[in-house]
Structures are given as structure tokens and as C-alpha cells.
């Protein structure tokens, strides 16, 4: 730690322990623009895409570069920096799904022919922690580490069964369908009763999913195992078949456990 300045400060005008620190949020937003598909950016492009002032972008980029999280390449193009490798190792150590569980995901994907994702809940979002792409050429719309909203999709329904009222309120506040906390709680109760969830076109038109909970020894929801693909392939008949397969795979992963969270 380079500083021992302990003044109650920083940059959130309307402070309070639960408000996000604005410049940190902005720095993370900038970092989030760097993806495998959009690996390099100019300051101008970052400024235009972020809507931030150029001076702000310059200062944030400079800070992230000093920490090695961004990298100045040729012709003024900025890319992901080598400092991210440290987080890569840490993320792997902490979140890597056991090989046995990955094998279950591979088997599920192979038998159903669709993409399999494992999601955990993080506040009012879900994050993909493992993926096995289907053998068909589905568009790869979710990447490991991606944050997705909790208001839509089969995996979200499953994860909401493990959410407390505070999380449900946060989800309700973002829900484009305008569901209330009571509405979400009722839906969660239904999913809990059935032991799985199905969705068609909730988060993205034309995308369907079937999900089941991965639970710990006490039955608490740790993650959602989801099979996803184009709606035309998710007929009633296919969904019935998929449901049996996903539930079975989720039970097997529950027995194996995921990370230290089993």
C-alpha cells in the first residue's frame, strides 16, 4: 500500500458505505470494453464509446497502465496489460471448477448438443464461471467471467431461489418487465418446487434455456447449471428431454462440489 492517508474521502459526492466509488466504477467500465473481439482501442475510441470526457479517459487509462492492467501498443492502440495475469491466476485458483464437474458439463453438452454454462449469483447479477460450447455452431454470446442480469433467463430463475430480499429488490429495480419483490419471490418458490426452470426469449429474443440448481450439502443454491441454445431447437419435446439431463447433471455436480463452495 503506497498510502496511509486515512481521511474519509474519495470521489463519491453523495457518499455512504454502499455507494459505488465513481472513478473506480468508471475505470472498471473502461477495462470491460477490452474483450477478445475488441482487444485494442485508441483513447479517442474509448472516449467516444464511454461518453466520458477525454481528460477523464486519459487519467483512468494512465492509472490502469501504471498498474500494468492496460498496455500501450503500436500506433497509440491500447490493449489489455500483463498485470491482468495476476488476477488470472487468482481467479483460476479460486474459481476453477473441478475437472470432474467439467466432465459432467462436457457430457451434458455432448448428449444434448447445446451450450452448457455454470453461473453463480453476484449481487443482482449472475456471472458465468464455466462453459462448454455445444457442437452446433451457435453464436457464442456468453463468455466465462461475463456478468448477466438476474431478471431474465432460466439460470436467473434458479439463482433467485437462493437470493434474499435485498437481492430481490435490486433485481426488481432493474427488471424491464417491472416485476415486484413479491412477484419474484413467488416465481422463485415455484422454481424451488419444480427443481428446474425454463425460459424462452427472456433475455434475448430467440434464445432459450433450461436450468437446475447446484446445491451444497444443506441444499443451499451455489450455482445454476444451464443448457442454452436457439429457441427453435427448444421444442416442448426437446425441453422435456433436456430437463431430465440438466437436473441429473446438476445433481452430479452438487455431489462433486464446486471449488471451496461445496
Residue closer to a second copy by CB (options 8, 178) is 8
d(CA 232, CA 147): 25
DSSP, collapsed to helix, strand or coil, labels residue 56 as: helix
Residue closer to a second copy by CB (options 87, 186) is 87
Residue closer to a second copy by CB (options 53, 186) is 53
Alpha carbon distances (Å) from 92 to 26, 87, 95, 134, 189: 25, 8, 5, 23, 33
Residue closer to a second copy by CB (options 122, 235) is 122
Residue closer to a second copy by CB (options 13, 232) is 13
Nearest approach in angstroms of CB 71 to a second copy is 7
Nearest approach in angstroms of CB 53 to a second copy is 4
Residue closer to a second copy by CB (options 28, 244) is 28
Closest CA to 73 of 99, 104, 39: 39
Q: Which three cell numbers stand for residue 140?
A: 457464442
Closest CA to 151 of 129, 130, 128, 180: 180
Nearest approach in angstroms of CB 124 to a second copy is 8
Nearest approach in angstroms of CB 203 to a second copy is 17
Is the distance from CB of 187 to CB of 233 less than 8 angstroms? no
Nearest approach in angstroms of CB 75 to a second copy is 13
Is the distance from CB of 250 to CB of 161 less than 8 angstroms? no
- The strand order across the sheet containing 40-41 reads 40-41, 78-80, 70-72
Count CB-CB contacts under 10 A for residue 69: 20
Nearest approach in angstroms of CB 237 to a second copy is 34
Amino acid at each position: 500500500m503506497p498510502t496511509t492517508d486515512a481521511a474519509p474521502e474519495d470521489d463519491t459526492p453523495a457518499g455512504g458505505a454502499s455507494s459505488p466509488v465513481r472513478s473506480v466504477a468508471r475505470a472498471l467500465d473502461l477495462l470491460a470494453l477490452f474483450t477478445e473481439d475488441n482487444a485494442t482501442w485508441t483513447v479517442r475510441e474509448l472516449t467516444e464509446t464511454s461518453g466520458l470526457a477525454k481528460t477523464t479517459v486519459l487519467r483512468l487509462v494512465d492509472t490502469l497502465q501504471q498498474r500494468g492492467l492496460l498496455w500501450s501498443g503500436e500506433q497509440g492502440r491500447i490493449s489489455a496489460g500483463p498485470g491482468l495475469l495476476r488476477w488470472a491466476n487468482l481467479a483460476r485458483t479460486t474459481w476453477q471448477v473441478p475437472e470432474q464437474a467439467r466432465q459432467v458439463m462436457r457430457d451434458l453438452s455432448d448428449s444434448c448438443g447445446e451450450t452448457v454454462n455454470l453461473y453463480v449469483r453476484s449481487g443482482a447479477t449472475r456471472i458465468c464461471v464455466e462453459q462448454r460450447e455445444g457442437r452446433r455452431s451457435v453464436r457464442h454470446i456468453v463468455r466465462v467471467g461475463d456478468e448477466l442480469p438476474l431478471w431474465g433467463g432460466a439460470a436467473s430463475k434458479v439463482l433467485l431461489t437462493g437470493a434474499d430480499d435485498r437481492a430481490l429488490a435490486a433485481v426488481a429495480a432493474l427488471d424491464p418487465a417491472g416485476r415486484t419483490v413479491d412477484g419474484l419471490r413467488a416465481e422463485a418458490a415455484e422454481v424451488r418446487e419444480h427443481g428446474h426452470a425454463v425460459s424462452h426469449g427472456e433475455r434475448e429474443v430467440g434464445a432459450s434455456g433450461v436450468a437446475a440448481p447446484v446445491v451444497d450439502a444443506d441444499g443451499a443454491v451455489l450455482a445454476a447449471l444451464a443448457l442454452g441454445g436457439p429457441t427453435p431447437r427448444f421444442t416442448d419435446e426437446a425441453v422435456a428431454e433436456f430437463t431430465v439431463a440438466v437436473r441429473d447433471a446438476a445433481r452430479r455436480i452438487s455431489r462433486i462440489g464446486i471449488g471451496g463452495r461445496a
